[in-house]
């Protein structure tokens, strides 16, 4: 299957070339995000100062923008980074954490979406629905939206902005507006560790750094991260050890394991 | 025993309703705090921007304010959040990290205490003594104050502000100015992991979200967190594995275990 | 051997007196840094507000300044903290994260180096080369510089500023411009966990707090941290468990183990 080959090829490429992934992300997940990228084989950098973001973007192979603990000065840096990335054709992943929860987040996410037209927009159901103009049923930064509704919203956003949209949840859904993929990997413990969504966005950034086809990159990234999560859940009794196992499993993940466990349906 | 029933009932309620706990807390412990709340069954959100704190508080079931890595812009957001929470009768937990170490922290903690009159003020001995106007013997953010002195200060603060005050340490002490509880759960390894005090405050926030009686909420929260710590300490050789075990144990904690291990003396 | 005795004596002293190490460091590693210091036996405090840094430095036994997620307001606080530390003869460790990657970082690191003339400057090869005016081959915050070149740069910086310079990598190199030490402890998994470099700087800060000879302090700190890393790598299959094991091993490290495993060559 073509997509399986792509996933394994891209994972190997990340491990070989160590793409530099520039993250402007939230305080809660910075450490975990950096460790996820290192475990995968990518090279993370976190930098948010207005004085240096453009120069740092210029060194990067992908830019991941995450609005989890937003403030006004950071938005300016996010916009500058996004413009620099567009100017240099560096792929952007946007993670609109908490869109729909407050107007500030929804408006900022929409502004960044408009500026960036990112390779991939990755959010949970509530966030994607909120950005599509729907009435999101959100709970802080956690989703409380049905998956059918969110998928329609994802398709609408993908078409409207000409981007790939990924909705993660019990099943992950990826669409470019025409093609769609449903990924049934992952484990429910992922929702009991903070930053797994943000980690999925960062992994998507690493895949985008080595794969021009954003649909293939997002699908492969979410399958890879989900499979590592599945195996990690076998190894421990709760969310603490799960978080640690997830890093170990990402680090040690083999192509054969991906082949055995990957569950992607292309529609 | 009434208090035991309450603890178990409240823990089950947190797991069933997943109360949203809004944290304005310090950079050091944001990740761990979110993971503690998720392991317990609560739903954490971190948001500090002046533009959104009031709206986010409006979604929350409890607000936890922690001054661990303070700066001026954050204080404005803390004050706004506290006022919004008061206006909506959302319970507030205040964690005055490092009060007594610098004038900036002591003054900020006193200002927030006056504004918030929180459901629960939780600190270590030095912090509570400093807020009561005593001469705290502090070491950065660690306490070096005798427990007897701190308990008198806690009772004085509880009476003066009409709040519940919790002093954590080798033994935890909770008072509303009239009743007091001494909790002898916990483990010394907790002092070798950063953020266990902040985690105790966050857990107290989750209990306050489901329990109107702040004295019962604080007592139950500290017992629950302490018991999880006690069991966690059996599982590993040092503070690294202890931190992970603590999350696993909080997640898996059963009422029967609480019943067996809870050591609370009511005075 | 004198240096071995010093290492063990200093480690015991840290565990006995719990020196207060004031860190102004980056968001990514704050939690891990605090936990490294606690595991070692030191007492960490993180404080960056302009209003309190001088007062907090006044309580500290060492100051560690790390520019990993830099911004303008933080630089002002770093400069103020450094001046306060100089005024009180409190040892300073400077970690110039990402120097060479952007002009903003290089210039800030040089400014802090000039202001602080720190007891120890600790960086990777690229960072040290960039500060010596060489053309660093950097990849975000990771080094891509040959060790020979970086060692020459370290010696030049040590002579020029009258300080100790430590270059960490596969082998660690410490010099005061005249004496040099090469430390062959550590493990390659350390490069797969974020914050191990920053952790080495923090441990160096703790050693400087109890040891006036900065060359001995830096050498001992890097050997101690490297040995803990070596043993930690035996305990788990990947970077997640390695990070946890590292804290456990630092906590439990015995003088006899240091004696057996320490590999330092003095030149």
- Which CATH number covers residue B74? 3.40.1190.20
Chain B residue numbers with beta carbons less than 8 Å from the beta carbon of C63 are none
> Distance (Å, rounded) from C-alpha A36 to C-alpha C180?
36
| Phi, psi dihedrals of residue B163, rounded to the nearest 5° | -130, 175
Helix (H, G, I), strand (E, B) or coil at C94: strand
Complex-level ipTM: 0.95
- From C18's Cα to the closest Cα of chain B, the distance in A is 10
User: A69: exposed, middle or buried (C-beta count within 10 Å: 0-12, 13-18, 19+)?
Assistant: buried
Question: Does B105 sit within 8 Å of C52, measured CB to CB?
Answer: yes
Residue C181 has pLDDT above 70, yes or no: yes
Query: Of C48, C35, C20, which Cα lies nearest the Cα of C205?
Result: C20
> Distance (Å, rounded) from C-alpha C163 to C-alpha C170?
23
Q: Which residues of chain B have pLDDT under 50?
A: none
What confidence score (pLDDT) does residue B237 get? 84
Give the count of domains, chain B: 1
Question: Does A43 sit within 8 Å of C28, measured CB to CB?
Answer: no
Task: Identify which of B31, B101, B237 has the shortest CB distance to residue C59.
Answer: B101
Residue with the larger pLDDT of the pair A134 and A171 = A171
Task: Identify which of C68, C139, C237 has the shortest CB distance to residue A252.
Answer: C237
Residue C139 has pLDDT above 90, yes or no: no
Chain B residue numbers with beta carbons less than 8 Å from the beta carbon of C252 are 237-238
- From A176's Cα to the closest Cα of chain C, the distance in A is 31
Question: Does A31 sit within 8 Å of B49, measured CB to CB?
Answer: no
Percentage of chain C beyond pLDDT 70 is 95
Mode of pairing for the β-strands spanning C180-183 and C264-266 = antiparallel
What confidence score (pLDDT) does residue B1 get? 53
Average pLDDT, integer, range A220-234 = 97
Please write the tens of the pLDDT for every residue from A169-196: 999 999 999 999 999 999 999 999 999 9
> Distance (Å, rounded) from C-alpha A151 to C-alpha A166?
9
Chain C residue numbers with beta carbons less than 8 Å from the beta carbon of A90 are none
Domain residues for the domain of A194 are: 2-266
Average pLDDT, integer, range C58-68 = 98
Contacts of C151 (CB under 8 A, 6+ apart): C167, C173, C175, C180
**Lowest-pLDDT choice from B118-127, C17-26, C140-149, C192-201:** C140-149
Mutate to test the interface with C, among A41, A46, A76, A232 (most CBs of C within 10 A): A46
Question: Does B55 sit within 8 Å of A141, measured CB to CB?
Answer: no
Long-range CB contacts (within 8 A, 24+) of A13-18: A13/A210, A13/A211, A14/A40, A14/A41, A14/A42, A14/A206, A14/A207, A14/A209, A14/A210, A15/A40, A15/A41, A16/A41, A17/A210, A18/A42, A18/A43, A18/C139
Helix (H, G, I), strand (E, B) or coil at B232: helix
Residue A3 has pLDDT above 80, yes or no: no
> Distance (Å, rounded) from C-alpha C127 to C-alpha C122?
9
Average pLDDT, integer, range C81-89 = 98
Please write the tens of the pLDDT for every residue from A144-171: 666 789 999 999 999 999 999 999 999 9
């Amino acid at each position: 299957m073509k997509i399986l080959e792509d996933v394994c090829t891209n994972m190997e490429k990340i491990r070989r070339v160590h793409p530099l992934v520039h993250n402007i992300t939230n305080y809660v997940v910075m450490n975990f995000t950096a460790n996820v990228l290192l475990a995968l084989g990518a090279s993370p950098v976190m930098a948010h100062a207005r004085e240096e973001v453009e120069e740092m973007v210029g060194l990067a192979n992908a830019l991941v923008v995450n609005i989890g603990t937003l403030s006004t000065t950071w938005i300016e840096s996010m916009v500058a980074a996004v413009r620099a990335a567009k100017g240099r054709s560096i792929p952007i992943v946007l993670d609109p954490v908490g869109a729909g929860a407050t107007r500030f987040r929804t408006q900022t996410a929409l502004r960044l979406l408009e500026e960036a037209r990112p390779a991939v927009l990755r959010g949970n159901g509530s966030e994607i629905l909120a950005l599509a103009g729907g009435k999101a049923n959100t709970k802080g930064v956690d989703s409380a939206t049905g998956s059918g509704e969110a998928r329609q919203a994802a398709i609408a956003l993908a078409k409207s902005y000409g981007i790939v949209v990924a909705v993660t949840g019990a099943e992950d859904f990826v669409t470019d507006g025409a093609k769609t993929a449903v990924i049934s990997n992952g484990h429910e413990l992922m929702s009991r560790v903070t930053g797994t969504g943000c980690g999925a966005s960062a992994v998507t950034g690493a895949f985008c750094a080595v794969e021009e086809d954003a649909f293939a990159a997002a699908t492969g990234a979410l399958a890879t991260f989900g499979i590592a999560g599945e195996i990690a859940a076998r190894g421990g009794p709760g969310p603490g050890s799960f978080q640690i196992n997830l890093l170990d499993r990402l680090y040690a993940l083999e192509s054969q394991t991906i082949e055995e466990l990957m569950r992607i349906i292309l529609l």
